[in-house]
Amino acid sequence: MSVFRCQLQCGGLPRYEGVSAAASNSGTVSAPTSELSRSPWHCLFPWPAMLPVRYTVLSQRQLPRSCTYSHSPLAGTSSESRGTYFSAPMETLFPGGVPLEYDKAQQYFKRLGDKGSWAAYIAGALLVLAHERSASFPQGVSLLVASAVPEGAGVSSSASVEVAAMAAVAAAHSLSLEPYDLAVLCQKVENCVVGAPCGVMDQMAAALGQAGCLMALTCQPAQVHPAVQIPKHMAFWGIDSGQRHSVGGADYGTVRAAAFMGLHMVTHRRLTSDNAGQPGQEEVAQQAGYLAEVSPSEFASRFASDLPHTMSGSDFHSTLSHHLDSVTSVHPQGEYPVLAATRHPIEENFRVSTFRALLQGNTGDPVTQMTLLGELMFQSHESYSSYHWRRLWRYSVCSG
């Protein structure tokens, strides 16, 4: 029987024969950023030189044909809530030699609960490579993941482990992946196998980030610009706030859905004004661009007054139907913060563009420069917090 095996551990790595290794940094710290896919903006995302922690993944073909993954907890941390080892027959992931469909893979890993659902971030690499690159795994696969990231304190750690895992699996099976393509495929792992509606920003940072620089990324859907050098008189620090954050959580998915609802309304309003008629749903879908293409002044003068502060899913479906996003749903019972979720990426794009210009400009006055940069970061934090962490969402799932 073929098996997939995964193992996590801390400390030094053992020596193996026939092993491919890959590493990616974790613990990123961001300047003003965001990542709502089709409602994105310029993103400055720093490579975590100030947080030198990383995931290292070793991948090895094995017989019998199996797939395994496991880990040992870091010293001083607790992993009682999750399993430390995962193993599954390859037939489970590739029934009849065919990779599980994404929706079935999601269901499979979610049924495993806390003790096994995390393996989706690792095993998802095999499924995505099979679906998107026609990769095959005639033998079993064994993965060892080593990490210096304290449990529960990682930032962008899911993207980091996805990038390291897929890079190691690809190397072990002689698959050539460019870093850009690696990041895009790893986003698909998180969207389609894990079921988290994240953007591509974190994966791009893990795959393409440069030490001592901020990554400049236009998420439309993912255009990488030359890195922005951090001035020598400046340093970024990451502090563990102790607050949990998950892009797979209800709040994140609700805010993303609300932003797409806003995108639909803005596009509908723009087409109505430009054409003096009511556009159809297909025209709206074809003409919808990105919220980041709207300037803050245009949003304030043309669109903001037409957007509701909150809107129920049932009201949205009764008037506008589909919300243009493939990885979230608008639930009839949900209450969505449309105005705040739409305004945030529009204003955030302006803040990030200004942040980059200030970093690259020679002001001759570092105190003023850092004061302005700090104010932009405070604005970004307040804007994000105003709708994301105050739990505006009041959605309950009706059983049955």
Residue 398 clears pLDDT 60, i.e. is over it:
no
Report d(CA 50, CA 90) in Å as an integer: 39
Higher pLDDT, 263 or 83: 263
Q: Please report which confidence band the pLDDT of residue 197 belongs to, taking 50, 70 and 90 as the band edges.
A: confident
Task: State mean pLDDT over 269-286.
Answer: 76
CA-to-CA distance for 299 and 231, rounded, in angstroms?
33
pLDDT at 79 over 80: no
Could you tell me the domains of the chain? Answer: 3-32+49-212 (3.30.230.10), 250-388 (1.20.1440.340)
Give CA–CA dist 314/331, Å, rounded.
Answer: 7
Q: Which residues contact 374 (CB under 8 A, 6 or more apart)?
A: none
**Residue 223's pLDDT is what?**
87
Would you state the pLDDT for residue 337?
92
Q: Quick one: pLDDT at residue 49?
A: 35
- Structure-block tokens of residue 1: 């029987």
Mapping DSSP onto H, E and C, the string for 354-365 reads HHHHHHHCCCCC
If you average pLDDT over residues 22-50, what whole number do you get? 40
Task: Between 130 and 85, name the one with better pLDDT.
Answer: 130
pLDDT at 150: 67
Residue 155 scores a pLDDT above 90 = no
The four Cα atoms 340, 322, 198, 213 give a dihedral, to 10 degrees, of: -70
Tens-place pLDDT, residues 99-136: 999 999 999 999 998 778 889 999 999 999 999 999 99
pLDDT band per the 50, 70, 90 thresholds, residue 56: confident
Phi, psi of 116 (to 5 degrees): -150, -15
DSSP assignment of 280-320: -HHHHHHH---GGGS-HHHIIIIIGGGS-SSEEHHHHHHHT
Lowest mean pLDDT among 14-28, 79-93, 191-205, 222-236: 14-28
| DSSP run (H or E) holding 335 | strand 335-336
| pLDDT per position as a tens digit, 319-353 | 887 788 888 889 999 999 999 999 999 999 999 99
- 181, pLDDT greater than 90: yes
Q: 193: which DSSP letter?
A: I
Tokens representing 19 are 């092993």
pLDDT per residue as tens digits for the range 214-246: 888 888 778 888 988 888 888 887 777 776 655
pLDDT at 176: 93
Q: Within 10 A of 273 (CB to CB), how many other CB atoms are there?
A: 10
- Can you list the positions of beta strands (E) in 169-294? 213-218, 223-229
Quick check: 248 pLDDT over 70?
Answer: no
Provide the annotated active-site residues: 202
- What is the rounded CA–CA span in Å between residue 76 and residue 275? 63
pLDDT at 211 over 60: yes
Mean pLDDT of the chain: 78
Q: Is the pLDDT of residue 35 over 50?
A: no
Which residues lie below 8 Å from residue 164, measured CB to CB, with a gap of 6+? 22, 23, 24, 54, 55, 56, 57, 145, 206
Residue 71 predicted with pLDDT over 60 = no
Listed range (13-17, 313-317, 333-337) with the worst mean pLDDT: 13-17
